[in-house]
């Protein structure tokens, strides 16, 4: 694999980040870290969307400029992603000068091509969606189905993009490429939306929206959100209408855009149409994840159940974000909705990370020190029934996990990793190395421990994208190189000889204390 270019949606900076934003960034970071184990050239883009009427109004209400509001909130997103170990290559802001200039050039090129034209229009505009809605899209009460608010009737002269011109090409692309939209069940939803697609407004009159990028040669118009926001995926890597950069030539098309299901229409219809108009290749995949509810209830400011990304770390006094990353990544199957609750978080991470995985490594290393002074014994798979098969199973799981990631099945991949951990725990229980040592069957005892340590090297590599800090702690105690590519992992990871001393054995993840999960107790 020559390169892998992955992006998130850019977050609107009208407010601070919440757990839903974090879910998407964690999923994307895990995918990026996994593919960094398969390629030498990984590029991960995230950022913030910073123009529009909502920011204009919020800034005015706070008595600050829109740019000041954007600066304040963009930093909150950066701080949150740092706390969650989101290891992006670039953080783009749509107020970046280079982005704004390129968006103006893109807009002008499409005007000159005839794909953008000026037109007087009256329609129903939802400020929450930042788009015009068709009457048929509304609820029986005439409300936006996503924001449950009545859209405004807007009449103005705007620039329109000839979306209908590219309808047939987009339909053909979706049908010819069944893995373009992930999960695949979302494709029919998009195809239904395409049936009566109309040209779309791509500018707003400055009398209504001042906070936006000016249209070149027509400063009375602001470039509307979707050409501005969606173009970040190409402006960030140096796209230019005249001479694209070497980075753009290398990384485009994107391997995957990771987005929420609520903005799938814009990414699978509007964005491909813009790219076709610019005569650029389409992204390989669009992965639309589900939403995260809180205690089975949709997040809402009015309900007071909006959780910040770092509050879970604070509540459970977690020094590293690995447990939260793991929990969020495994909260839902590919593309489905997930749920967060304090109690479920505590139970799941204790069971998987502390009891199953962490304790398995800790007690195995402790027995190695106790029975062999920390020295790995010579391998002889014939000594212990099932030992060779277990290592082979672990090695085979690498390909299974890779296949899940090929389809962006993050939770499903984690389940495979944990199934290997469970099998290894069963192997230890069935073979009881403590009994073998008591019976002075030291060769057999040594083989059991070596088998487990061999498997744990593989597990540390596979769990790394989810839990980078835990994986590094595991690898350090195993003297295993986490920089190894997945294709280069073998069944010869553990070397004979001195591995570890008693003082160097540390738990890779401590159980979450049940009292810490009780917020009332903490108060």
User: Which residue is it, tokens 């000016």?
Assistant: 214
**Fold for the domain defined by 342-515:** Isoleucyl-tRNA Synthetase; Domain 1 (1.10.730)
Q: Which of 234, 236, 225 is nearest to 282 (CA)?
A: 234
pLDDT tens-digit map of 389-426? 999 999 999 999 999 999 999 999 999 999 999 999 99
Containing H/E element for 520? helix 519-522
CATH number, domain 4-294: 3.40.50.620
Find out whether 113 and 257 touch, Cβ atoms under 8 Å: no
Instruction: Write phi, then psi, for 388 (nearest 5 degrees).
Output: -65, -40
Using the predicted structure, report yes or no on whether residue 301 has a pLDDT greater than 80: no
Q: Which of 21, 335, 405 is nearest to 182 (CA)?
A: 335
Tell me the two tokens of residue 469: 């800090």
Q: CATH 1.10.730.10 region(s) of the chain?
A: 342-515
Report d(CA 216, CA 220) in Å as an integer. 10
Tell me the two tokens of residue 361: 């490594």
Report d(CA 275, CA 161) in Å as an integer. 12
Q: CATH 3.40.50.620 region(s) of the chain?
A: 4-294
pLDDT tens-digit map of 208-247? 899 999 999 998 999 988 999 999 999 999 999 999 999 9
Q: What is the mean pLDDT of residues 430-453?
A: 97
User: Which residue is it, tokens 């405004």?
Assistant: 152
pLDDT tens-digit map of 254-271? 999 999 999 999 999 999
Tell me which of 137 and 282 has the higher pLDDT. Answer: 282
Give bridge partners of residue 218 from the DSSP assignment. Answer: 215
Q: Which of 457, 455, 474, 461 is nearest to 391 (CA)?
A: 455
pTM comes to: 0.92
Task: List the catalytic residues.
Answer: 18, 21, 126, 129, 144, 147, 298, 301
Tell me the two tokens of residue 323: 């447990």
**Per-residue model confidence (pLDDT) at position 515:** 47
């Amino acid at each position: 694999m020559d390169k892998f270019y992955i992006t998130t949606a850019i977050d609107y900076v009208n407010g601070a980040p919440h757990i839903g934003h974090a879910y998407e960034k964690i999923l994307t970071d895990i995918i990026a870290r996994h593919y960094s184990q398969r390629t030498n050239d990984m590029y991960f883009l995230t950022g913030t969307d910073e123009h529009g009427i909502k920011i204009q109004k919020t800034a005015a209400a706070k008595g600050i400029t829109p740019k000041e509001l954007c600066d304040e909130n963009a930093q909150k997103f950066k701080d949150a992603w740092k706390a969650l170990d989101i290891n992006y290559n670039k953080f783009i802001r749509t107020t970046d000068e280079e982005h704004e200039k390129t968006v103006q050039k893109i807009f002008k090129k499409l005007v000159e091509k005839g794909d953008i034209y000026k037109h007087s229009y009256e329609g129903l505009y939802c400020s929450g969606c930042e788009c015009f809605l068709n009457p048929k899209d509304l609820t029986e009460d005439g409300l936006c189905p996503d924001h449950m608010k009545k859209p405004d009737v807007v009449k103005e002269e705007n620039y329109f993009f000839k979306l209908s011109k590219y309808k047939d090409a987009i339909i053909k692309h979706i049908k010819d490429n069944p893995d373009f939209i992930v999960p695949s069940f979302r494709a029919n939803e998009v195809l239904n939306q395409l049936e009566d697609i109309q040209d779309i407004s791509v500018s707003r009159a400055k009398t209504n929206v001042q906070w936006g990028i000016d249209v070149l040669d027509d400063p009375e118009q602001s470039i509307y959100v979707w050409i501005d926001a969606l173009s970040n995926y190409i402006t960030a890597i140096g796209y230019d209408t005249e001479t694209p950069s070497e980075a753009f030539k290398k990384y485009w098309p994107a391997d995957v855009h990771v987005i929420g299901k609520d903005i799938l229409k814009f990414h699978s219809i509007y964005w491909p149409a813009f790219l076709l108009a610019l005569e650029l290749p389409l992204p390989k995949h669009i992965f639309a994840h589900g939403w995260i509810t809180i205690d089975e209830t949709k997040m809402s400011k009015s309900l007071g159940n909006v959780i910040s990304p770092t509050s879970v770390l604070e509540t459970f006094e977690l020094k590293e974000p690995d447990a939260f990353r793991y929990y969020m990544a495994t909260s839902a199957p590919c593309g489905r909705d997930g749920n967060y609750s304090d109690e479920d978080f505590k139970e799941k991470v204790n069971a998987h990370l502390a009891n199953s995985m962490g304790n398995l490594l800790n007690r195995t290393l402790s027995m190695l020190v106790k029975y062999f002074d920390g020295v790995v014994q010579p391998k002889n798979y014939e000594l212990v029934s099932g030992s060779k098969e277990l290592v082979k199973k672990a090695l085979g799981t690498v390909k299974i996990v890779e296949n899940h990631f090929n389809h962006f099945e993050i939770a499903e991949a984690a389940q495979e990793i944990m199934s290997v951990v469970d099998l290894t725990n069963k192997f230890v229980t069935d073979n009881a190395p403590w009994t073998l040592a008591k019976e002075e069957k030291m060769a057999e005892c040594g083989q059991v421990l070596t088998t487990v340590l061999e498997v744990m090297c593989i597990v540390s590599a596979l769990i790394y994208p989810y839990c980078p800090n835990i994986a590094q702690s595991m690898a350090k105690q195993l003297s295993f190189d986490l920089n190894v590519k997945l294709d280069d992992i073998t069944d010869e990871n553990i070397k004979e000889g001195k591995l570890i001393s008693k003082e160097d054995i540390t738990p890779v993840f401590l159980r979450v204390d049940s009292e810490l999960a009780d917020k009332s107790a903490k108060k």
